[in-house]
A and B are shown apart, each in its own frame.
Chain A
Amino acid sequence: MNVTAPLIEVEKLEAWYGRRRILNGVDFAVNPGEIRVIMGGSGSGKSTLLRHLLGLHKPRSGTVRLLGVDIARASERQMLDVRRQIGVSFQGGALLTSLSVGDNVALPLREHTNLDEATIRIMSRLKLEVVNLGGFQDLMPAQLSGGMIKRTALARAIAMDPKLLFFDEPSAGLDPVVSAELDELILRLRDALRMTIVVVTHELESAFKIADTITVLDQGDILMTGTVDAVRHSDNERIQDLLNRRPREIQVDADAYLKRLTEEAA
């Protein structure tokens, strides 16, 4: 793979939940070394897009290529190789509650490497130091605060030194100071470890602070992909609604409205 090839390539991706279409043929690419923020309101399809990028859903139509591998056609072996090179920090942390903080961070190392226990311990503590949680390895996830959970999840996500890091809603449910600290941490990770980072968020402030480029998603379509300034000065009405926290103007279709009210089986 040459150096400039995008790490993520999505072409004409469609996603459905039952009869409802969530993504309408999305095209999307992320280049090495950039921090891409996927922004959009609730129900815009950004979580669905993320789940496809992570290979948790197989696309119904269209292709998703991660690190050059088409995830719909990859063998289990190829998929495993891809997954060893990506790290994911989930919205709620998704730490294994039965394992201590240290064991959570060490889990990918234990499962995918043949390193001895002492090395794994040192490496997992190093990652905890990176996220400013040095010395917390013996606590259980239930004993952590919201910010600490997110930072532990981040430490686990970077345990294998991934090329590509996904971060779902880094600042959701955190106070402004803690979420600002997390933003700093994300920037530092990119600079220090040269990771390519994809962040999904609806927090404008944090998006503008960390993003190199922003993709704005709305109702299953990509409205635009561009630099922070380009997005800020976009003349697209929906983007300005999102930036200025204006409520959507919903146009009522009388026939559809009546049908929804009277229809028996949804």
Chain B
Amino acid sequence: MTSLTRPLESLGRATIGSLAGMGYAAVLLGESLYFSVAGWRIGQPLRPRAVAEQMRQIGVDALPIVVLLALTIGIMLGIQFIAALSAFGAQSQVVVAVAKSVTREFGALITAILVAGRSGSALAARIGSMSVSQEVDALATMGIEPVRYLAAPALLAMLVMLPALTIFADAVAIGGAALYSSPALNITPSAYVMQTLSLLEPGDVWQGIAKSAVFAVLITLIGVSTGFSVAGGAEGVGRATTRAVVLSICWIIVVDMIFSYFLNR
């Protein structure tokens, strides 16, 4: 009997655990937004300085690696599309294929995965180690709401910087594709870029930006909520960090697929 009930029991436990996690993340989202908008009225103002510091860490510091990866992805897409489309004698379609796939999909996805690895894990590690060493309790007893002090600035910064990084990645990736593809297409890189701009519709870029805003919320909430729920010392912090990255990336990819489905029907 127990051999039958035990797997069921652990399945039930896991389900309740993940539902509780989602509920907790929703509460964190609500509280962060509340403190951002109305915190000053109850003596818990969001500090612009804290938001700016988070924006630097999440956005500006990620620029070099975003440039490198976006450029690589752009070149890679150029290579693949030229190889695949020339089989049909349709090289001229490379420009539109790269432009649409980068702006709708790859720019947002690559940036989000990168930021999840860089900043989602950093949030989980920072807040996790603060919980372990009672720093979060200390903030609370000092009358500084931990969510206001730690989560809200990160959420706002992420909501601004991830779309900004995505636009940047779009531009760099298309530039990378232009560098590789223009010789193969017998046009100059600037002609390639001009052609891209004339083919792109605002909706393409908006699709990527809308997704990246959703990814921003996902990364922050997963990082912050795993951080706040850390138990079990240094090992717990390590596990939370890993968990934050893995969960964020899984959610990003799944949500991306769902969005793509509904936005392209």
A and B associate in one complex: yes
Q: Is the C-beta of A205 less than 8 angstroms from some C-beta in chain B? A: no
- B43, A80: Cβ atoms under 8 Å? yes
CB proximity to A under 8 Å, residues B124-139: 126, 129-130, 133-135, 137-139
Name the CB-closest residue of B to A153: B138
Q: Which single member of A51, A54, A88, A92 contacts B133 (CB below 8 Å)?
A: A92
Tell me the bound Cα distance from A111 to B142 in angstroms: 9
CB proximity to B under 8 Å, residues A95-152: 95-98, 107-108, 111-112
Q: Is the C-beta of A64 less than 8 angstroms from some C-beta in chain B? A: no
- A108, B142: Cβ atoms under 8 Å? yes
Q: Is the C-beta of B84 less than 8 angstroms from some C-beta in chain A? A: no
Measured between beta carbons, the chain B residues less than 8 angstroms from A112 are: 43, 143
- B137, A90: Cβ atoms under 8 Å? yes
Tell me the bound Cα distance from A156 to B138 in angstroms: 10
- A92, B142: Cβ atoms under 8 Å? no
- A86, B141: Cβ atoms under 8 Å? yes
Tell me the bound Cα distance from A111 to B130 in angstroms: 19
Tell me the bound Cα distance from A99 to B66 in angstroms: 29
Name the CB-closest residue of A to B129: A97
Q: Is the C-beta of A33 less than 8 angstroms from some C-beta in chain B? A: no
Q: Is the C-beta of B87 less than 8 angstroms from some C-beta in chain A? A: no
Measured between beta carbons, the chain A residues less than 8 angstroms from B142 are: 83, 88, 107-108, 111, 156
Known A-B contacts A77-B43, A80-B42, A112-B43; A88 and B144 likewise in contact (beta carbons under 8 Å): no
Q: Is the C-beta of B22 less than 8 angstroms from some C-beta in chain A? A: no
Q: Is the C-beta of A225 less than 8 angstroms from some C-beta in chain B? A: no
- A83, B141: Cβ atoms under 8 Å? yes
Known A-B contacts A91-B134, A94-B134; A56 and B43 likewise in contact (beta carbons under 8 Å): no
Query: How many of chain B's residues have a CB under 8 angstroms from any CB in A?
Result: 18
Q: Is the C-beta of B140 less than 8 angstroms from some C-beta in chain A? A: yes
Q: Is the C-beta of A12 less than 8 angstroms from some C-beta in chain B? A: no
B43, B126, B142 interface centre (most CB from chain A within 10 Å): B142
Tell me the bound Cα distance from A9 to B139 in angstroms: 23
A226 CB to closest chain B CB (Å) equals: 28
- A90, B143: Cβ atoms under 8 Å? no
Q: Which single member of B129, B130, B135, B143 contacts A108 (CB below 8 Å)?
A: B143
- B42, A76: Cβ atoms under 8 Å? yes
Measured between beta carbons, the chain B residues less than 8 angstroms from A76 are: 42, 44
- B144, A55: Cβ atoms under 8 Å? no
Q: Is the C-beta of A84 less than 8 angstroms from some C-beta in chain B? A: yes
Measured between beta carbons, the chain A residues less than 8 angstroms from B130 are: 96
Interface size class, chain A: 20 to 34
B221 CB to closest chain A CB (Å) equals: 22
Known A-B contacts A76-B42, A77-B43; A111 and B135 likewise in contact (beta carbons under 8 Å): no
- B137, A56: Cβ atoms under 8 Å? yes
A95, A107, A111 interface centre (most CB from chain B within 10 Å): A111
- B42, A88: Cβ atoms under 8 Å? no
- A94, B137: Cβ atoms under 8 Å? yes
- A56, B42: Cβ atoms under 8 Å? no
Measured between beta carbons, the chain B residues less than 8 angstroms from A111 are: 142-144
Tell me the bound Cα distance from A97 to B128 in angstroms: 13
Measured between beta carbons, the chain A residues less than 8 angstroms from B138 are: 88, 90, 94-96
- A90, B134: Cβ atoms under 8 Å? yes
A84, A90, A166 interface centre (most CB from chain B within 10 Å): A90
CB proximity to A under 8 Å, residues B106-127: 126
Tell me the bound Cα distance from A264 to B6 in angstroms: 12
Tell me the bound Cα distance from A95 to B144 in angstroms: 14
Tell me the bound Cα distance from A108 to B126 in angstroms: 20
Q: Which single member of B2, B135, B137 contacts A95 (CB below 8 Å)?
A: B135
Measured between beta carbons, the chain A residues less than 8 angstroms from B144 are: 107-108, 111
Q: Which single member of A54, A77, A84 contacts B42 (CB below 8 Å)?
A: A77
Q: Which single member of A79, A92, A98 contacts B134 (CB below 8 Å)?
A: A92
Known A-B contacts A77-B43, A80-B43, A112-B43; A96 and B135 likewise in contact (beta carbons under 8 Å): yes
Q: List 17 A-B contacts (CB under 8 A).
A: A51-B137, A55-B140, A56-B137, A56-B140, A77-B42, A83-B140, A90-B137, A91-B134, A92-B134, A94-B133, A96-B135, A97-B129, A97-B133, A97-B135, A107-B142, A108-B144, A111-B143
Which residues on A are within 8 Å of B, measured CB to CB? 51, 54-56, 76-77, 79-80, 83-84, 86, 88, 90-92, 94-98, 107-108, 111-112, 156, 166, 264
Known: A80-B143, A88-B141, A111-B144. 18 other contacts (CB 8 A): A55-B140, A55-B141, A56-B140, A76-B44, A77-B42, A77-B43, A84-B143, A90-B138, A91-B134, A92-B134, A94-B133, A96-B139, A97-B129, A97-B133, A108-B143, A112-B43, A166-B141, A264-B2
Across the A-B interface, give the 6 residue pairs with the lowest CB-CB distance, nearest first.
A83-B143, A94-B138, A94-B134, A88-B141, A90-B134, A80-B143
